[in-house]
Chains A and B, each alone.
Chain A
Amino acid sequence: MSDVVEKTLTALPSLLSLDSQPGSAKLSSTSKLGNLIRGITELTSKHEEEKLIQRELTSIKEQVSSPNTSMRQMKELMVRAIYCEMLGYEASFSYIHAIKLAQQGTVLEKRVGYLAVSLFLNENHELLLLLVNTVLKDLQSTNLIEVCMALTVVSQMFPKDMIPAILPLVEEKLNHPKEIIRRKAVLALYKFYLIAPNQVQHIHNKFRKALCDKDPGVMTASLHIYLQMIQENPEGYKDLTASFVTILKQVVGGKLPMDFNYHSVPAPWLQIQLLRILSLLGKNDQSTSEIMYDVLDESLRRAEMNHNITYAILYECVRCIYTIHPKSELLEKAAKCIGNFVLSPKINLKYLGLKALTYVVQQDPKLALQHQMTVIECLDHPDLIIKRETLELLFRITNAQNVRVIVEKMLEFLRISNDDYTTIDLVGKVAELAEKYAPDNEWFIETMNTVFSLGGDMMQLDIPNSFLKLLSEGFESEEEDRKLRLFAVDSYVSLLQGEPGKLPQRFLQVISWVLGEYSYLREELEPATVLRLLAKLLDMKNTSSETKSWVLMAMTKLCEGGAAVSVAQEVSETYSNSMDTVLRQRAQELEHLSQDSELRARVLPRDGGQEPLEVDSSLSFLDGFVSEALAAGAAPYKPPHQRQEELAQAKALSLEPYSLSLPISVSSCSIADRQSPTLLSMSSGLSGDSTDISHKGGATTLKLDGVKRVWGREGYLAQKEPVEEAAHVEVPSPLRSPSQQGEADNSHSQTPTPTPTSEPEQEKQQLASSLFVGLGSQSSVCLMEKCEPTAQRFRRKAKSQGPSSGASEQTSNSLVSTSNTVDNLLCDNVLDTNISSEPAISSPKQTSPLSQRQKGLGLCDIKGRNPSLSKDNCVAANDHAPHEDPDRPKDLCLSSHLPAELSGLPHSEITPLSSNQSLDLSACHVQKEDSLVLVVFIYNSCDSDIQQILLRLDSDELEVSCVCDSPMQEVRSHSVAACQYSLTVKRPSVHVEVGGTVSYQLTVGTLQSVQFSYKLPLTSFIRPLTVSTEEYGTMWLAFSHDTKQNLTLISDGQESLTATLNVLKKKLQLHVVEIIGMEGIVACQLLQDQPCLMHCRVHVGTLAVWLRSPVPDLPDCLIYHCQRALQEH
């Protein structure tokens, strides 16, 4: 503890007591505020506090609204309200009175009013608008104190939109004769810069003026703006470097007035600010760095006083020296400085030293060597914070040679730490190091076992994911892969034989997956044995149902041989009645597949993950099956929306919770991204959020600033490979056992170690040599470039990006189905018939149960429509099949009957609807810019005129209105009449249908009728919506209905986004608002004026699409059409 604190402690003994209360003299002892404070100090329990404050709030509420309350009393009331809020009790009724107090009070009352506003309201609170006028008035006041207050509150909070109202006044204050006003004006502008940078763009030269202000306070204030601006764009302010250097020189040289000193150190916080600015400017810039060498040297020299604040400056100085272009002389001094910190007996300095060292070793790992003994001591420091910081340092210097020791130290810490945040952080780091530097298989698997056990269920999903990915994708050598997997299997079997009840769920899931996938590698291991071990997991009380479904899936892969099948049968029997649909589904699969080994081998081929799957996205292999099924009278496929609607109409149970997951079935299973199992299983929870799945991991990842990522999403990030390759050869082979390691490392370590004295000392040195091995030799080579002196053990196989991103493992395939249970259950029969009737249709790889089912569903849809119909999906369904009549009027003839006003417009093919002996009905639709017109042609094919024709249309989804003035009365023999109806969408659906009846009298008195229906795709009602990017932005936020899905890109080239969007634009009449890099925004509207916005992003070879609209179901329908449009392309 510093001397200063001790002095303070003796100087301020009275802080302890409440007895002497000189400060309360101003308050009358009987005042309400005095009572409240006394009440608070006497509190003994939370319950009492609540009672006291509630009473207080009631009393404040009463007084605050009384018209007789003076401003002086109001001020006191506000302080009381501040107390209540400080203790966590909302006093929102007083907010408006705080604003009133700021407006009407004088001096201290006004200030307290402003203070209360800034404490009560957050920056977006709408009441702040009421403050604008008060601020405006005070800024113009002749009383400087009021101007000051106004500027203070403005620099704390101000509504962004109102900045223009006061900006001129604030700018004016920059020229005020009083420094305090100028200073506060600069701070107000800084606030404006923070909340609305473009509003103050035009006054950049005024910032410069402030920087050159003769008053140091104003200059200091302007540095806040500069630090911010330089952070954003260091290039723009290089010319100011010399100015900052001069300022720092003057400060360090003691040119500032004495009252800027703090414990005889001149303006220390200003120095720190300047050093931060300089390090930003000098980073990666030699010539700029050279300007500052002198002043940095002087700063180091001057800061020799033994006081905390000088150390704070030194720390900043050291950071700066190691950030800018290096100068060896300075580096040396800085290193010495760090040494003093680290060696200091003062614990705060030690901490700062470690922090500096952690920062510095990234540029210069050698430095850690100098302080290795101190580092070792810190590693055993009783203060966990110091220990933790040391581990952070060690994490930065880990390499292939010291990884064992460092990871061991980290795991040691993990075992004693009980802070969740630390655990999550450290577990992530250990996993990263293990992946990067694992010396051998045994170590890797064992370390990961510890990670999984310690990390438990709070660890990030990334870790099990990438571990399984690593196992399944394999590395350079087949043999190595096999050994690694085999070792994992052995290790897990023995874990399960022990006490699996203690293992966290995530770990059990990993174990199940690995055993399911690879236990065959251990030939002497009976599948039945593994099954029994797994079955034990199912019986444990705390096993979650998610884990159970992993276990069941593993069992499905394993049930081979009589004994195994009988275990499987037993298990599936238990769970086929489970209340959990997912488990029931798994149990069903297990039951079916365990009975049919041939099918199982096809569905779950061994080592399925090895080769990329070819996914037949058009599902052509099911064509035969579907047409057969249709011929046999099966109901045609209906898209989810339609199904939903029908169910809703049938007043079925609300399917809301399920409905979300339905759209997934179509696209997230297009299996675009090669996800490992955990991620995919997550999608069951996320239901429908498929676009985001791949980011979930990222969102929760810890920030590992400065740590080089060797594994990226695309696999190994091959940088500097030659170097590592070389290192791989040279590095002495890692030692077999940790006990041997110490000695061996000692012998080849290049680190200068002091002569050993005592035994504990010797131990420490041994530890040091094993920790710091590998740092000395390579590190001297480069300072600026960070070299990676490591041997990469797990180097992933080079894979072309195409197949790996487009393919998916068998396992993930079957996992996806978790989210589609509803679908699957519905179609179980379809699957069975399919497989038995047409076994040869598809290649085994494509026959995962899931894809088949979905394909089955999808295909019905395609087949369900008449393929010969018009290009834009216009479908006519007729009650009576139209007989082919050679005489019937050709399209061409009919189109000549299109009303004149429509003839120039694009129309769909004219489709026959229905006919009988006397009438032929056909129809087409015409797309007008602002409407859609349905034209029904009635051809009188008989020889007599037809009277009293009445055409009635109606539809569930559409609003139909007749365009013609009078209903048609008669059609002459062999002539055509056309009726126009204007259609608008009531309720979006993928396809909309109009039903109609034509009734007529052929001969007087006999009423006849023909029924028909006309179906048209929703796309006919879609029109481009021209909006600007800004408008798009505001609309986007306002819309509540949305859907997300991944679509296939048209081409793989660079322009794939543009190409894809162009196809959509052409086919669906969308308006492409803007394409920015890998993202595009698109807008359209459904007639009339029902907008729908689309956000597209290229992600791992697919197009992640997010649609939003104020209209329910519209996004879902549109995504369907987008998908179709791209498929047909």
Chain B
Amino acid sequence: MIKFVLMVNRQGQTRLSRYYQAVELSRRALLEADVVRCCLSRKKDQCSFVEYKDFKLVYRQYAALYIVVGVTDTENELSVYELVHNFVEVLDKYFSRVVSSHIMFNLDRVHIILDEMIQNGHIVETNKSRILAPLTAIDKMADG
């Protein structure tokens, strides 16, 4: 099961966070800082999965942006690793060549996309066109 999805930059600043298991607001910043420290300290040739407390982190780096997913021990790490990439590909498709400012200036849309992919900590949709369908429909209505 997926516990959270984080997007952070190299400076450790959170760019997106979504929790699927309740974590108090006051404890999030600390957890995120700790998680980021864990991932940033790793070298490129090291494994993309890190044990963190009683769960695991799967992280993937895209230029200056890190996407970190917290998963329980029962999850298939490699499938989550690829899920992250699928997410990035979806973003890339929607924004036609995504850059980090897209994410910042369209935080709501990125969240809407993520909501189509993961719910309650489970992967609910991976088909790119289906993931984007509701959001494109909304965009069309808003424009038209």
A652 to chain B, nearest CB (A): 41
A-B contact pairs, 23 of them (CB 8 A): A5-B85, A11-B92, A12-B62, A12-B63, A15-B62, A15-B98, A16-B100, A17-B100, A18-B101, A21-B101, A23-B101, A107-B142, A145-B138, A152-B116, A156-B119, A180-B130, A217-B125, A221-B124, A224-B122, A269-B79, A347-B46, A382-B46, A421-B54
Residues of A within 8 A of B53 (CB): 421
Cross-chain contact of B126 among A155, A224, A269, A348 (Cβ < 8 A) = A269
A12 to chain B, nearest CB (A): 6
Contact with B along A1-26 (1 / 0, CB 8 A): 10011001101111111101111101
A277 to chain B, nearest CB (A): 13
Residues of A within 8 A of B106 (CB): 23
Residues of A within 8 A of B46 (CB): 347, 382-383, 385
Which chain B residues numbered 6 to 22 have a C-beta less than 8 Å away from chain A?
A: 13-14, 16-18, 22
Which chain A residues numbered 809 to 826 have a C-beta less than 8 Å away from chain B?
A: none
Which chain B residues numbered 99 to 125 have a C-beta less than 8 Å away from chain A?
A: 99-102, 104-108, 111-112, 115-116, 119-120, 122-125
Do the beta carbons of A23 and B99 come within 8 Å of each other? yes
Residue of B whose beta carbon sits closest to that of A316: B76
Do the beta carbons of A217 and B127 come within 8 Å of each other? yes
Which chain B residues numbered 39 to 97 have a C-beta less than 8 Å away from chain A?
A: 44-51, 53-54, 60, 62-65, 76-79, 81-83, 85-86, 88, 92, 95, 97
Question: Which residue numbers of A lie inside 8 Å of B, CB to CB?
Answer: 1, 4-5, 8-9, 11-18, 20-24, 26-27, 33-34, 37, 40-41, 43, 75, 78-79, 82-83, 85-88, 90, 107-108, 111-112, 115, 118-119, 122-123, 144-145, 148-149, 152, 155-156, 180, 183, 187, 190-191, 194, 217, 220-221, 224, 259-260, 262, 267-270, 272, 308-309, 311-313, 315-316, 347-352, 355, 382-383, 385-386, 388, 421-422
Q: A43-B13, A262-B126, A385-B51 are in contact. Are A24 and B25 (CB under 8 A)?
A: no
Q: A37-B105, A83-B107, A87-B14 are in contact. Are A107 and B138 (CB under 8 A)?
A: yes
New contact pairs (13) apart from A21-B101, A26-B105, A347-B47, CB-CB < 8 Å: A8-B85, A12-B98, A15-B65, A16-B63, A17-B100, A33-B105, A34-B105, A262-B82, A262-B126, A308-B78, A347-B48, A352-B78, A385-B47
Interface centre among A115, A269, A308, A388 (most CB of B within 10 A): A269
Residue of A whose beta carbon sits closest to that of B105: A24
In Å, the complex CA distance between A17 and B29 comes to 25
Do the beta carbons of A4 and B105 come within 8 Å of each other? no
Q: How many residues of B contact A (CB 8 A)?
A: 70
Residue of B whose beta carbon sits closest to that of A24: B105
Residue of A whose beta carbon sits closest to that of B9: A41
Do the beta carbons of B101 and A24 come within 8 Å of each other? yes
Q: A40-B13, A108-B138 are in contact. Are A9 and B112 (CB under 8 A)?
A: no
Do the beta carbons of A107 and B108 come within 8 Å of each other? no
Do the beta carbons of B14 and A86 come within 8 Å of each other? yes
Do the beta carbons of A115 and B17 come within 8 Å of each other? no
A223 to chain B, nearest CB (A): 10
Residues of A within 8 A of B29 (CB): 87-88
Do the beta carbons of A86 and B81 come within 8 Å of each other? no
Do the beta carbons of A311 and B134 come within 8 Å of each other? no
In Å, the complex CA distance between A23 and B28 comes to 28
Do the beta carbons of B104 and A37 come within 8 Å of each other? yes
Residue of B whose beta carbon sits closest to that of A155: B119
Do the beta carbons of A180 and B133 come within 8 Å of each other? yes
Do the beta carbons of B105 and A187 come within 8 Å of each other? no
B79 to chain A, nearest CB (A): 4
In Å, the complex CA distance between A83 and B45 comes to 33
Do the beta carbons of A15 and B126 come within 8 Å of each other? no
Do the beta carbons of A422 and B51 come within 8 Å of each other? yes
In Å, the complex CA distance between A37 and B126 comes to 30
Residue of B whose beta carbon sits closest to that of A270: B126
Residue of B whose beta carbon sits closest to that of A107: B141
Residue of A whose beta carbon sits closest to that of B144: A107
Residues of B within 8 A of A9 (CB): 62-63
In Å, the complex CA distance between A732 and B51 comes to 38
In Å, the complex CA distance between A34 and B88 comes to 23
B33 to chain A, nearest CB (A): 10
Cross-chain contact of B120 among A41, A107, A194, A347 (Cβ < 8 A) = A194
Do the beta carbons of B99 and A259 come within 8 Å of each other? no
In Å, the complex CA distance between A351 and B125 comes to 27
In Å, the complex CA distance between A22 and B29 comes to 30
Do the beta carbons of A191 and B120 come within 8 Å of each other? yes
Residues of B within 8 A of A79 (CB): 107-108
In Å, the complex CA distance between A349 and B111 comes to 30
Do the beta carbons of A115 and B108 come within 8 Å of each other? yes
Question: Which residue numbers of B lie inside 8 Å of A, CB to CB?
Answer: 13-14, 16-18, 22, 25-26, 28-29, 44-51, 53-54, 60, 62-65, 76-79, 81-83, 85-86, 88, 92, 95, 97-102, 104-108, 111-112, 115-116, 119-120, 122-130, 133-134, 137-139, 141-142
A834 to chain B, nearest CB (A): 52
Do the beta carbons of B124 and A111 come within 8 Å of each other? no
Cross-chain contact of B47 among A11, A12, A383 (Cβ < 8 A) = A383
In Å, the complex CA distance between A14 and B129 comes to 24
In Å, the complex CA distance between A4 and B128 comes to 17
Do the beta carbons of A315 and B138 come within 8 Å of each other? no
Do the beta carbons of B76 and A23 come within 8 Å of each other? no
B34 to chain A, nearest CB (A): 11
Cross-chain contact of B100 among A18, A148, A149, A269 (Cβ < 8 A) = A18
B47 to chain A, nearest CB (A): 5
B127 to chain A, nearest CB (A): 5
Do the beta carbons of B51 and A388 come within 8 Å of each other? yes
In Å, the complex CA distance between A13 and B64 comes to 9
In Å, the complex CA distance between A422 and B54 comes to 9
Residue of B whose beta carbon sits closest to that of A14: B99
In Å, the complex CA distance between A1110 and B63 comes to 60
In Å, the complex CA distance between A224 and B104 comes to 32
Cross-chain contact of B81 among A83, A118, A308 (Cβ < 8 A) = A308
Residue of A whose beta carbon sits closest to that of B116: A152
In Å, the complex CA distance between A421 and B38 comes to 14
Do the beta carbons of B47 and A269 come within 8 Å of each other? no
Residues of A within 8 A of B122 (CB): 224
Residue of B whose beta carbon sits closest to that of A392: B51
Do the beta carbons of B76 and A86 come within 8 Å of each other? no
Residues of A within 8 A of B49 (CB): 348, 351, 385
Across the A-B interface, the 10 shortest Cβ-Cβ residue pairs:
A23-B102, A88-B29, A15-B63, A312-B78, A312-B79, A14-B99, A24-B105, A309-B82, A383-B46, A16-B63
Do the beta carbons of B108 and A112 come within 8 Å of each other? yes
Q: A272-B76, A312-B76 are in contact. Are A348 and B48 (CB under 8 A)?
A: yes
In Å, the complex CA distance between A1 and B44 comes to 8
A796 to chain B, nearest CB (A): 31
Residues of B within 8 A of A386 (CB): 47
B137 to chain A, nearest CB (A): 5
Do the beta carbons of B99 and A17 come within 8 Å of each other? yes
In Å, the complex CA distance between A11 and B76 comes to 27
Residues of B within 8 A of A78 (CB): 108
In Å, the complex CA distance between A385 and B119 comes to 29
Do the beta carbons of B127 and A315 come within 8 Å of each other? no
B97 to chain A, nearest CB (A): 7
Residue of A whose beta carbon sits closest to that of B11: A43
A344 to chain B, nearest CB (A): 12
Do the beta carbons of B100 and A111 come within 8 Å of each other? no
Residues of A within 8 A of B99 (CB): 12, 14-15, 17, 20-23
Residue of A whose beta carbon sits closest to that of B18: A119
Cross-chain contact of A259 among B62, B123, B129 (Cβ < 8 A) = B129
In Å, the complex CA distance between A68 and B141 comes to 24
Residues of B within 8 A of A382 (CB): 46
In Å, the complex CA distance between A701 and B139 comes to 52
Residue of A whose beta carbon sits closest to that of B135: A111
In Å, the complex CA distance between A12 and B100 comes to 10
Residues of A within 8 A of B108 (CB): 75, 78-79, 82, 108, 111-112, 115
Residue of A whose beta carbon sits closest to that of B25: A90
In Å, the complex CA distance between A183 and B47 comes to 36
